[in-house]
Structure 1
Amino acid sequence: MTTNRSASPKWAITLFTMGVFMAGLDNGIISTALTTISDSFHVSAAWGAWTVTLYTLGIAISTPVIGKLSDRYGRKRLFIIEIALFGIGSVLVALSPNFIFLLVARFIQALGGGGIFIIGSSYILSTLPKESQGKALGMLGGMHGLSAVIGPNLGAVILGLTGSWQWMFLINIPIAIFLIIFGFLKLEETKAGTEKPLDITGTLLLSISILSFMYGITQLDSDSFVHSLLFIIVGLILFTLFIIHEKRVEKGDGDPILAFSLLSKLSFKLTLVLGLLSGGFLAGIIFIPAYVEQVLLVPVEQAGYWVTPMALAAGVGAGLGGVLSDKIGPVKTVIIAGVIGVSGFGLFSFLVEGFLMFVVASSLAGIGLGMLMGAPLNMLAGASADESEKGTALGTVSLLRQIGLTIFPALFAGLIAGSKSGYSQMFFAAMVLALLVLIIGFYINRKKLI
């Protein structure tokens, strides 16, 4: 491992927090300008939505791969490369002469933005003492959630002040330059170091399988169901081939992109399930603003005030989850997050009628989500992995969360469309997911797997 004596944990946390905020802010910002962007390139709303879809696909592909590369080549180096890619992508988006160019630029942005949270988390797990990791990871998680809330509002402000959607992306440039310069000066390098050749075949199999599967999932609500199902099946077949290949590489003393021995650990497999469920947990939160407008009949201009407590609660939950993970451990923090999540979604299912009960229920759901999405899952993943696999482990958990965040909204939307009581059924389903989080947490704790 290479070290830099001038490095400071405070500097590292500050730089990673800024990077996570910048990357998370971007997708929220663009949601404000989708119609404006589509109109400026004279494309339909369906085509315009691909600016978000392609970003999602790019993040899904990049997270496990960047996690592995950061383990192999160094987290400082990969952080700087990721920030540079994100900055270059931002410039290209702003200068796009046509819509296809814009989509390519958004994909480059995603490849840069997708790994920042993973690199920051693995860096913290590798360099900070155990008693300080939870608080630092909680800050990253809280900033991630805060950026999602601030993004649409900031996008509206920028669009209103400048009248140009390009400035939404150009504001990333000074931040990226600052992060590159100070990342180079202030971060210490951490890497296990290996002379074994990079697993190119595994990288390609994993990337194409994720791309195929996620594309199929995102297109399930379109008219071409068979077409979408075909992509999902191809993705699953390629992923099976990927697992077989990785097992062979590891047996041959190679350096697999995702170690089969890591996948075979029960603790890690349960952490992956928690990652998937956390995506469903977040999906339940996503539908709350629509519930405010469609069921509680709150006017659009007032709905923002109703959901603000939930957004603040998620940030508080992320910080609280970090503190509790340091004090009582990540497993017990997962259990508490599950209890709070069950309480929040349970209230939505049966008791929410007016503003007061809504604030209580949405705040509980927000706190539970924040606690779960911040420190504990990353600490569980890191505890299951060797030093040389921490980034890989975190990237894989993040991928499962992204898959959950893609699958469950489609399922929840089906429940909402199916009956008049659809929202109650959807919240009940989200409560079941929180209950599963609670059960898995109890099981890990009882069996002392971590």
Structure 2
Amino acid sequence: MSSPANKWPTFFIVATGVFMSTLDSSMVNIALPFIMKDFHTSLADTQWVVMVYLLTITASLLFWGHLSDRLGRGRIYTTGMSIFGLGSLACAYAPTLSILVSARFLQALGAAMMMATGPAIIKETFPKEQLGRGLGLIGMAVSLGLMSGPSLGGFLLELASWHLLFLITVPLGLLFAFLAIRILPGPTHHYTGPLDWLGSLFWSCALVLLSLTLTHASSASWSVSRLLLSAGTGAAALCCFIIIETRLPHPLLTMSLFRNRLFSLAILSAVLSFMVLFAVILLIPFHLDRVLGLPPSRIGLVMLAIPSSILVISPLAGWLSDSVGARLISTLGLGISTLGVFLLTTIEASTTPLIIAGQLSLLGLGQALFLSPNSASVLSHVETSKAGAAAALLATARNLGMLLGIAQAALLFSLSFRGVTNGLDLRDFRPEHTPSFLTALHYALLGAGLSGLLGMAASWLRGNSAPHRPEDPDPAVRPSHQQS
């Protein structure tokens, strides 16, 4: 564990990495309609600017957490920050959509290294009785990145173009990589066993194939047999991954963690929560741009409603987590988020941006109440030697939810829009297609709302968990020498 004197410098470095990755993500979501116009590509193709970022992070998080338990979390985090900065530079000068997607892959590798190790570094730095508060402050960094992204992105889009959005994080990434080398803790070497290369391969293959299936399910270029082959191979790869992980002495994913209901249902509810959030983040900017015709800066201000709510509520949510536990607060948060999504299914062409912002605020408030208590619930129930793997799993759940939310929303929207317009894509949108757009939007948001209801059920069924004290034994995971 880091010394108390390094607590706040360490927090500042981790929070900056979180801020950069969320700032980039929120700016890119705002820019998607303009990237689509610039390259004249379909929604299915353009969404890969976001999808490849989330897919790469989701596929590699477990590996980086696995590796950080051997090489040291500070070392992995520092390398990730450097790669993220270089990837941002490559994105800024991408001349085509394919090169932009490739550069986003590099950027995502760096983001994954930071995400996999950041929460574990906070766990090692903050006393256990302050873990919820530490994660709540990280939640504030998340909200600041999300909050700055829409407004800053809208301003930069009007000032220049989307290329400039990626340049913002380049100097920050390189500067804080240098600071991280000097401040973050060195290697701890909890594990010395071999790396799980085979498990990493099957996990990555499963995610890539299943994501391709979801993305191209509405595409005329993919036949039914090709979709079935992709889905079947992806499912088979996932089954192989699970089998491998249950048999290895030092697996990529410690399957015994899921024997505890509190842990496993907290992970599931995290996936469903972020499915709800990112379905909205993907679709609403298109409504504001195509239907309401708002300029980029106004779109950014409306989308600012989500992170603004998170900024206000996150510290309170962290304090409540330390005081009363996660079950009630997390379930209430998911309920409020789901209500916000169902309210969004009622928007029409005449709905004002102010009303939409109010509904988005409700969504952000619920996400803030859910996130910090749920994260603290997961991390406070694993032993320190497994903190890297658990933090990586938590980040994997978050990014898997983002990935599935975007894929589900894009699939439902594309299928609905094509169905009511006789095969048109969103890039063909004209003002007379507004009723068809709204129909497709409502169906896609309804699907997100149903995911929210499932998340509420998973969060409540986890059971009660008393606030975790420093003197408490670790209730979810037995010491590693007993697990065999």
Q: Give TM-score scaled by structure 2 length.
A: 0.77
Deviates more, 1:413-422 or 1:436-445: 413-422
**How many Å apart are 1:165 and its aligned residue?**
5.3
Alpha-carbon spacing, 1:334–1:36, altered in 2? closer, same or farther (3 Å): closer
Output the aligned Cα RMSD: 3.6
Shift of 1:43: 8.0
1:258 and 2:253 equivalent?
A: yes
Q: Which residue of 1 aligns with 2:387?
A: 390
Deviates more, 1:20-29 or 1:240-249: 20-29
Moved more, 82-91 or 9-18: 82-91
Distance 1:99 1:425 in 2: 28
Code of the residue aligned with 2:367 in structure 1: it is L
Asked whether 1:268 is paired with 2:267, we answer no
For the residues of structure 2 that align with 1:359 and 1:4, how far apart are their CA atoms? 41
Cα distance in 1 for partners of 2:46, 2:347 equals 39
**Greater CA deviation, 374-383 or 148-157?**
148-157
**d(CA) in 2 for partners of 1:431, 1:33:** 25
Q: Using the alignment, how far apart are the partners of 1:93 and 1:442 within structure 2?
A: 41
Deviation at 1:329, TM superposition (A): 1.9
Residue 142 of structure 1 deviates from its aligned partner by 3.5
User: Which residue, 7, 10, 28 being the options, matches 1:12?
Assistant: 10
Deviation per residue, 1:169-216 (Å, 9 max, x gap): 343332122212221222223635222122222222222222222232
Taking a change above 3 Å as real, the CA distance of residues 437 and 36 of structure 1, as seen in their structure-2 partners, is closer
Among candidates 404, 408, 420, match of residue 407 of structure 1:
404
Q: What is aligned with 1:248?
A: 247
Counterpart CA distance in 2 for 1:142 and 1:222 is 39
Out of 425, 440, 457, the residue aligned to residue 439 of structure 1 is 457
Contact 2:210 2:235 in 1 (8 A): yes
- TM-fit CA distance, 1:257: 0.9
- 1:174 and 1:92 map into 2 onto residues whose CA distance is 13
Mapping 1:116-195, distance limit 5 Å: 116-158=114-156, 160-161=158-159, 163=160, 166-189=163-186, 191-195=188-192
Tell me the CA shift for residue 231 of structure 1: 2.3
Conserved 8 A contact 1:319-1:371 = no
- Paired residue type of 1:259: T
Does the aligned pair in 1 maintain the 2:196–2:252 contact within 8 Å?
A: yes
Counterpart position of 2:206 = 209
2:431 — aligned with what?
none
Matches within 5 A, 1:25-174: 25-31=23-29, 44=41, 49-94=47-92, 102-158=100-156, 160-161=158-159, 163=160, 166-174=163-171
Q: Are 2:294 and 1:300 aligned?
A: yes
Instruction: Kindly provide the amino acid, as one letter, of the partner of residue 238 in structure 1.
Output: A
Cα distance in 1, alignment partners of residues 150 and 347 from structure 2: 30
Matches of 1:247 and 1:55, distance apart in 2: 29
For structure 2, list consecutive stretches of 5 or more residues without a partner in the other structure. Answer: 420-435, 467-474, 477-484
Deviation at 1:337, TM superposition (A): 0.8
Q: Which amino acid aligns with 2:145?
A: S
> Greater CA deviation, 241-250 or 420-429?
420-429
Q: Which of 316, 319, 340 is the matching residue for 2:315?
A: 319
Q: Helix, strand or coil: the match of 1:237?
A: helix
- 1:445 aligned counterpart, secondary structure: coil
Contact 2:66/2:195 (8 A) holds in 1: no
Q: Which amino acid aligns with 1:283?
A: F
Q: Which residue of 1 aligns with 2:275?
A: 280
Correspondence for 2:196: 199
Contact persistence 2:209–2:231 (CA under 8 A): yes
Do the aligned partners of residues 132 and 106 (structure 1) sit closer, same or farther apart at CA in structure 2, a change above 3 Å counting? same
Deviates more, 1:266-275 or 1:96-105: 96-105
Q: Determine helix, strand or coil for the equivalent of 1:196.
A: coil
Aligned equivalents of 2:455, 2:47: Cα separation in 1: 32
Q: For 1:357-372, what aligned pairs fall within 5 Å after superposition?
A: 360-372=358-370
Verify the 8 A CA contact 1:70 1:191 in the aligned structure 2: no
CA contact (8 A) 1:145 1:315 kept: yes
Code of the aligned partner of 2:321: S
| Alpha-carbon distance change, 156 to 424 in structure 1, aligned in 2, over 3 angstroms | closer
* Count of residue correspondences: 439
Residues 1:375 and 2:393 aligned together: no
Instruction: Report the CA distance shift for 1:35/1:12 in structure 2 as closer, same or farther (over 3 A).
Output: same
2:259 counterpart letter in structure 1: S
For 1:231, give the aligned amino acid: S
Q: Matches of 1:119 and 1:348 in 2, distance apart? A: 35
- The verdict on how the C-alpha distance between 1:427 and 1:94 changes in structure 2, with shifts beyond 3 A counting, is closer
CA drift of 1:86 comes to 1.1
2:215 pairs with 1:218: yes
Q: Aligned in 2, Cα 1:180/1:345: closer, same or farther, shift over 3 Å?
A: closer
Query: CA 1:221/1:383 → structure 2, altered by over 3 Å: closer, same or farther?
Result: farther
Calculate the TM-score normalised by the size of structure 1.
0.83
Report the CA distance between 1:403 and its aligned residue: 3.1
Cα distance, 1:322 vs structure 2: 1.9
